[in-house]
Amino acid sequence: MDRRTFLSSSTLAPLVGAGGSLLPLAALAADEIGIGSIHDLSGGLDIYGKPMLDALTLAIEEQNAAGGLLGKSCKLVSYDPQSNMQMYAQFAQQAALKDKVAVVMGGITSASREVIRPVLNKYKELYFYNTQYEGGVCDRGTFCTGVTPAQTVGKLIPYAMKKWGKKIYVVAADYNYGQITSQWVKKFAMENGGSTVAIDFFPLDVTNFGPTISKIEAAKPDMVVSALVGGAHISFYRQWAAAGLNKKIPLASTTFAVGNEQIVLSAEEADGFLLSYNYFENIDNPVNKAFKERFHKRFGADYPNITELAMGTYQGFKLWAEGVKKAGSVDLAKVTTALESGISIEAPSGKVTIDPATHHCILNVSIAEVKNKKLNILQTFTQQPPADTSAVCDLKKNPKDNQQYVIKV
């Protein structure tokens, strides 16, 4: 399946109007609870947004099949920001003021999160950011369910160094995720007796990586670590393989496969890459087995790999729903207090628990290798805390904290 086929297979994309929200968008009925979804269904980040929306759709449908919440049905209210920063802000405001949803799930890049978050704070709207990111968000109105560098990069870099060597060349997206994550790579390399020989940053629309590939070849690192992001950056992996360097210099990534790049690329281009995430499809537990059966029944037996970001979104909704049930309300303060009690769920990825002090999650992470378009688990680390964010954020002591810390590494 190539990228065009993958994107055109969207079950919901035909419903998206020019304004970006799903049509028709009627007002919520008295017996409905609105769930806002701000996920890119077009633009350069659509390779991530579509699976996230699918996972949220399934989670809402499952909740409604189980009787809804508080005697009401949950209604998906979806917006397509088209990877446009202005539209993230526009739809965050619309979700809170016009559509009056109970919670917003959305944002993919950290840049989009930092556009959405202040708007939802202003209008006292609960926000779930379900994407892996660089850590440091400390905000009582926000819950971050995705993995952070201490949980994944801190496992991936020592594993890769032991396998391949100590000299690392980093290529990363040029915004806060790539910039900060590259510093975490540098930190974990140094702590394990290695070094980063260079770090190169690229805007999200860059597609020509020829000069950088030549620089990497000349630098002769033991490995490349990629924190590239978005559809345009897939070009790096193609050009890397075309230059024959995928046979000479191994690659690990903090982002590869969260957009199913391993399906877009050929096996020849991607085999051997190392990754670390909370969720991989071949996690062996009964919850995941049942989840995959439901997911493929809903979206088709030929649906491509269920991604880390899709699972983060599914788990984010499930955590929020448990908070609503415990609070007996969708009220922001009541649900937040309930979530801060340390709510846990048995998810397809394993046990997921909200850390009250940081509003992040304690969860399992695994290292996997790309092989023939599949992601094969090599090692699993159970119940990893968000140690990076907990070093700077304590919402129990400072509940009015509201910022993203750039954690010193």
* Side-by-side strand order, sheet with 73-79: 73-79, 32-38, 103-106, 126-129, 142-144
Q: What domains are there in the chain, each with its CATH number?
A: 3-146+282-363+387-404 (3.40.50.2300), 153-253 (3.40.50.2300)
For residue 71, the SS3 value is coil
Q: What is the longest distance spanned by two Cα atoms in the chain? A: 65
Question: What's this model's pTM, rounded to 2 decimal places?
Answer: 0.90
DSSP 255: S
Closest CA to 32 of 94, 74, 77, 95: 74
Q: Name the CA radius of gyration of the chain, rounded.
A: 20
Q: Is the model's pLDDT at 10 over the cut of 80?
A: no
Sign, CA dihedral 335-350-164-267, equals negative
| Predicted pLDDT at 231 | 85
Partner residues linked to 132 by β-bridges? none
pLDDT digits (tens, 9 = 90+) for 323-340: 999 999 999 999 999 999
- List of residues 6+ apart from 320 with CB closer than 8 A: 103, 105, 126, 128, 143, 335, 339
Q: List, in sequence order, the alpha helices (H) in 145-230.
A: 153-164, 176-191, 210-219
pLDDT digits (tens, 9 = 90+) for 81-130: 999 999 999 999 999 999 999 999 999 999 999 999 999 999 999 999 99
- Model confidence at 45, pLDDT cuts 50, 70, 90, reads confident
Sole residue written with tokens 């994107």: 7
Mean pLDDT of the chain: 92
| Predicted pLDDT at 26 | 55
